[in-house]
Amino acid sequence: MLSGITMGQYLPGRSPVHRMDPRAKLAAAALAVPAVLYSSTWMTIAAVTIWLAAVAGLSGLRPGIYWRSMRPLWILLLLSFVVQALFTPGEPLINIGPVDISEPGLLQGALLLWRLGILLVLASVITFTTTPLQLTGALEWLLSPLIRLKVPVREMAMIINMALRFVPTLFDEARLLLMAQQSRGADFTSGGIRERVRGLAPFMVPLLTNIFRRADDLALAMELRCYQVGAPRSRMNELHFAAADFAAVAVTVLLLAFVLGCRVLQVAKVAS
Amino acid sequence: MPCIEIENLTHTYFPGTPLETTALRDISLLVDRGETLALAGATGSGKSTLVRHLNGLLAPTSGRVRVLDGDLADKNFRRRLWRRVGLVFQFPERQIFSGMVYEDIAFGPRNTGLAGPALRDRVSWAAEAAGLPEELLYADPAELSGGMRRRAAIAGVLAMRPEILILDEPGAGLEPAARENILRRIIELQAEQGTTVILITHHLADAALYADRLALLEKGRLTAVGPVAEILSRPDLLDTAGLEPPFTVELTRRLAAAGITLPETPLVPIEAAKLIASLLVPGVAS
């Protein structure tokens, strides 16, 4: 479970990408996604790839890290390639038994592989360079217009932040509880389904009791410090847009414009 | 007669990953049957990791550990060790899961196969040994005071009649009277049953009162082990281990620095008072 770099983990650093306003990062990423999905010519593919390589380079993280974080997903990527290659109709190029592989199939498969890979690296850049707290802050700001539509954006952000804060604590507590009950002979590994479920009581009951007690104390502590559900709150680290942020978003807008332009003008496609 | 033999024990969590931490380094220690050993050290020094080997929860990454008559390298031996080595975790009342005190105390012995009248007797005995009044056996743990819940949890481990009893800060969060009460009962039990007791504590005064030997852990290494009075009179050792000497030891040291040497190092305030009195008023027996 904890071997090497997990996808989605935050890796501390001081690179330009780390220091970007998280809202700009999310916005740029959101603009980049259609750019990736609509790229189907050699020019646009090259443009997007160069853009992403530049971003990854600016993130200050060794390329090997991106590679290793994608390792668990290689099989999925390969499978996607194979399925796409096999099931795209066209003139058979290679013949393996009952299965025909056509040139369009290979190109389509390669394109799909490229798209998935690019999206994964993009997601990794965001999560490697942005703390969960920053991400929820950015999401909260970006979704804040929805508050007018009675969507509980601020409450959801608070819930996510609290979960992020307490999940590690709860994991630790659960591990401790497991050990304590095992020290009294609790066996969670043997027996049929019914026995195992019954055997979980010494673990689940105190765990849930402690969770609720914690939640109760937390709610009280927050109330005592004048927290009010849904009321606007200030931040310790105020988010400020800087020149770099505007530049990043501008570049992504240009990239998207380029991709859409090529598509509209029906410039030579690699595949669709 | 050692009942625990630890030879060059090293334990590393998550070896080979970015989270790799060596919690114990090259620890060698012998514990005699029936003795009371106090284990002290700052947070993170490895105390909990060390004792979790002794009841089979953890296996050594390297080194050799023999507990009672078996080797920890034997997985089957480790899996059964909980029956003979009782480990009371810190704040043990947090693991109570039943709606009746009796049932929670009975959990451990039931898992060893005890049933019927023998089980009932054992639960009653354990409650009494822990200082839990008989009528509370049928109460809901949620309605008990913190101190009583603590006793109930300890009773749950005592009820398995372990040959070795390990307690991780049994008095944590309790008022001094309750702490003293629990510790005194443990020692009484030990005298009765010949149990070997390992006491993890930050309060070196407890070590002074209840333990035969004291072992100091610092960042995973054993920096000292010996008779309690001997270790306590080494403020340099205690300091590097991040521990404060008990009041009386510190008092003796400061008196000595001011030119007043007490005939011996008192471990408890009343002893200190008597020793000082004997110096002030010649002829007063100390």
- Same domain? For A100 and A199 the reply is no
Question: HSE of B131 in the Cβ direction (CA atoms, 13 Å)?
Answer: 19
Compute the count of residue pairs across chains A and B with CB atoms less than 8 Å apart: 61
Axis-axis angle for helices A132-143, A22-37 (nearest 10): 80
Q: Which residue of B has its CA nearest to A11?
A: B18
- β-pairing, B85-88 vs B70-71, is unpaired
- Same domain? For A124 and A159 the reply is no
CB spacing of B107 vs A202 below 8 angstroms: yes
CB spacing of A201 vs B97 below 8 angstroms: yes
Task: Please give the Cα distance from A29 to A36 (Å, whole number).
Answer: 10
Residue A103 has pLDDT above 80, yes or no: no
Give the DSSP letter of residue B244: P
- Same domain? For A124 and A248 the reply is yes
Domain assignment present for residue A78? The answer is yes
Cβ B206 vs Cβ B267: under 8 Å: no
Tokens encoding A235: 């931040």
Q: Helix/strand/coil (H, E, C) string of B41-58? A: ECCCCCHHHHHHHHCCCC
Whether B112 contacts chain A with CB within 8 A:
yes
pLDDT of the residue at A70: 81
Question: In percent, how much of chain B has pLDDT > 70?
Answer: 98
Residue A268 has pLDDT above 70, yes or no: no
CB spacing of A185 vs B157 below 8 angstroms: no
Domain assignment present for residue A11? The answer is no
Whether A97 contacts chain B with CB within 8 A:
no
CB spacing of A185 vs B112 below 8 angstroms: yes
- Same domain? For A28 and A67 the reply is yes
Taking residues B129-158, report their average pLDDT: 93
CA angle A61, A64, A65 (to 5 degrees): 55
Question: HSE of A56 in the Cβ direction (CA atoms, 13 Å)?
Answer: 19
Domain assignment present for residue A158? The answer is yes
Confidence of residue B261 (pLDDT cuts 50, 70, 90): confident
Domain assignment present for residue A8? The answer is no
Confidence of residue A8 (pLDDT cuts 50, 70, 90): low
On chain A, the residues whose CB falls within 8 A of the CB of B157 are 183-184
CB spacing of A184 vs B160 below 8 angstroms: yes
Domain assignment present for residue A2? The answer is no
CB spacing of B94 vs A181 below 8 angstroms: no
Domain assignment present for residue A230? The answer is no
Task: Among A176, A185, A202, select the one facing B82 at the smallest CB separation.
Answer: A185
Whether A186 contacts chain B with CB within 8 A:
yes
Q: Helix/strand/coil (H, E, C) string of chain A? A: CCCCCCCCCCCCCCCHHHHCCHHHHHHHHHHHHHHHHCCCCHHHHHHHHHHHHHHHHHCCCCHHHHHHHHHHHHHHHHHHHHHHHHHCCCCEEEEECCEEEEHHHHHHHHHHHHHHHHHHHHHHHHHHHCCHHHHHHHHHHHHHHHHHHCCCHHHHHHHHHHHHHHHHHHHHHHHHHHHHHHCCCCCCCCCCHHHHHHHCHHHHHHHHHHHHHHHHHHHHHHHHCCCCCCCCCCCCCCCCCCHHHHHHHHHHHHHHHHHHHHHHCCCCCCCC
Q: Cα-flanking dihedrals φ and ψ of residue A235, to 5°?
A: -115, 155
Domain assignment present for residue A4? The answer is no
Write down the mean pLDDT value for chain B: 90
CA distance A195 to chain B (A): 13
- Same domain? For A207 and A243 the reply is no
Question: In percent, how much of chain B has pLDDT > 90?
Answer: 63
Whether B87 contacts chain A with CB within 8 A:
yes
pLDDT of the residue at A3: 41
pLDDT of the residue at B20: 82
Strand-pair partners of B167: B88, B199
Which range marks the domain in which residue A205 is found?
A: 153-224
**Tell me: the pLDDT tens digits for B63-111?**
999 999 899 999 999 999 999 999 999 999 999 998 899 999 999 999 9
- β-pairing, A99-102 vs B2-13, is unpaired
For this complex, say whether ipTM is above 0.85.
yes
Whether A189 contacts chain B with CB within 8 A:
no
**Tell me: the pLDDT tens digits for A212-224?**
988 999 999 999 9
- Same domain? For A76 and A38 the reply is yes
CB spacing of A184 vs B18 below 8 angstroms: no
Q: B237-252: buried (b, 16+ CB within 10 Å) or exposed (e) per residue?
A: bbeebbbebbebbebb
Q: How many other CB atoms sit within 10 Å of the CB of residue A80?
A: 16
E-only strand ranges, chain B: 2-13, 21-32, 36-41, 62-67, 70-71, 85-88, 164-168, 196-200, 213-218, 221-227
- Same domain? For A110 and A158 the reply is no
CB spacing of A202 vs B95 below 8 angstroms: yes
- Same domain? For A116 and A49 the reply is yes
Q: Which residue of A has its CA nearest to B142?
A: A209
**Tell me: the pLDDT tens digits for A168-205?**
888 888 999 999 999 998 887 777 788 788 788 888 99
Sheet with B196-200, strands from edge to edge, namely B85-88, B164-168, B196-200, B36-41, B213-218, B221-227
Instruction: Return the closest-CA partner of residue B92 out of B20, B16, B159, B8.
Output: B159
Task: Among A2, A5, A180, select the one facing B89 at the smallest CB separation.
Answer: A180
- Same domain? For A50 and A88 the reply is yes
Task: Among A2, A180, A185, select the one facing B95 at the smallest CB separation.
Answer: A180
Task: Please give the Cα distance from B85 to A149 (Å, whole number).
Answer: 61
Q: How many other CB atoms sit within 10 Å of the CB of residue B39?
A: 28
pLDDT of the residue at A197: 82
Taking residues A21-29, report their average pLDDT: 93
Question: In percent, how much of chain A has pLDDT > 90?
Answer: 30
**Tell me: the pLDDT tens digits for A50-60?**
999 999 999 88
**Chain A (69-88) residues lying within 8 Å, Cβ to Cβ, of chain B:** none
Confidence of residue A88 (pLDDT cuts 50, 70, 90): confident
- Same domain? For A125 and A248 the reply is yes
Q: How many other CB atoms sit within 10 Å of the CB of residue B99?
A: 12
On chain A, the residues whose CB falls within 8 A of the CB of B18 are 4-5
Q: Domain count for chain A, please give it.
A: 2
Task: Among B17, B87, B95, select the one facing A206 at the smallest CB separation.
Answer: B95
Domain assignment present for residue A65? The answer is yes
What is the pTM assigned to this prediction?
0.76
- Same domain? For A162 and A214 the reply is yes
Least confident of A17-21, A182-186, A235-239: A235-239
Task: Please give the Cα distance from A124 to B240 (Å, whole number).
Answer: 44
Instruction: Return the closest-CA partner of residue A258 out of A116, A48, A117, A114.
Output: A48
Confidence of residue B214 (pLDDT cuts 50, 70, 90): very high
Task: Please give the Cα distance from B212 to B208 (Å, whole number).
Answer: 8
Question: HSE of A103 in the Cβ direction (CA atoms, 13 Å)?
Answer: 3
Whether A4 contacts chain B with CB within 8 A:
yes
Task: Among A176, A184, A209, select the one facing B111 at the smallest CB separation.
Answer: A184
On chain A, the residues whose CB falls within 8 A of the CB of B108 are 184-185
Q: Which residue of A has its CA nearest to B156?
A: A184
Q: Can you give the C-alpha Rg of chain B in angstroms?
A: 21
- Same domain? For A26 and A97 the reply is yes
Whether B21 contacts chain A with CB within 8 A:
no
Taking residues A98-104, report their average pLDDT: 72
Distance of CA A267 to the CA centre of its chain: 32
**Tell me: the pLDDT tens digits for A105-140?**
788 888 888 999 999 999 989 988 998 888 888 988
